[in-house]
Amino acid sequence: MKIVQKLKKGLPLREQITPEVRELMECYLLETLKEKYSCRSSKEVFDYLYVSMRDLKREVFKVIFLNSQNRIESVDNLFTGSLNSSSVYPREIIKTALEKNAAAMIFAHNHPSGIPTPSDSDKSVTENLVHAGQLMEIKVLDHIIVGDNRYFSFADCGLIKDYEINGKFKKPTK
């Protein structure tokens, strides 16, 4: 309660959170998410991501690597971009997923504008990542765009499933 009493009136709470408190919140939310049996919803993932991504001034592209039970193994910031774009390289993501022996992945990035609507580039990159994952037999569960207290989920909107169907990789027969 003493911390709450020290807050400055009229100044938004989010502007008064120190980097140390933000880091502690992020660690707590990640541990809470890891303790769950598996990642079950985009909302659960967003709740974790929002703390670490909401006030960033540049786009940051994260990958959540999961095991075969969809439990989080690690969360990595793989690419950092500019105010309104980030270069994402599927090759590097797949390479990292293989190194971590990931069975599935969830992608996430922020829009510093606060508006989580996906751009054509976001859609294209996601489709390419889904196809690359199919080729390497690594499931893409979602791509979440974090905005200002809201998010966009490619899975919730059916786009991940559409990309899987449209680019279905067929294994060669023996």
Q: What is the pLDDT of residues 91-126, one digit of tens each?
A: 999 999 999 999 999 999 999 999 999 999 999 999
Report how far Cα 57 is from the mean position of its chain's Cα atoms.
17
Kindly state whether residue 29 falls inside one of the protein's structural domains: yes
- Which residues touch 17 (CB under 8 Å, ≥6 apart)? 25
Query: 3 lies in a domain?
Result: no
Q: Within a domain: residue 12?
A: no
Model-level pTM? 0.78
125: tokens are 């990159």
Bridge partners of residue 145, in order along the sequence: 109, 152
52-75 per-position pLDDT tens digit: 887 888 999 999 999 998 888 889
Task: Tell whether 101 is covered by a domain.
Answer: yes
Residue 6: inside a domain: no
Structural domain including 129 reads 17-166
Cα dist. 31→5, 23, 114 in Å?
28, 12, 26
Query: Is 7 contained in some domain?
Result: no
> What pLDDT, on a 0 to 100 scale, did the predictor assign at position 48?
81
DSSP 108: E
Domain count, the chain: 1
In a domain, 159, yes or no: yes
CATH number of domain containing 162: 3.40.140.10
Domain membership of residue 120 (yes or no) is: yes
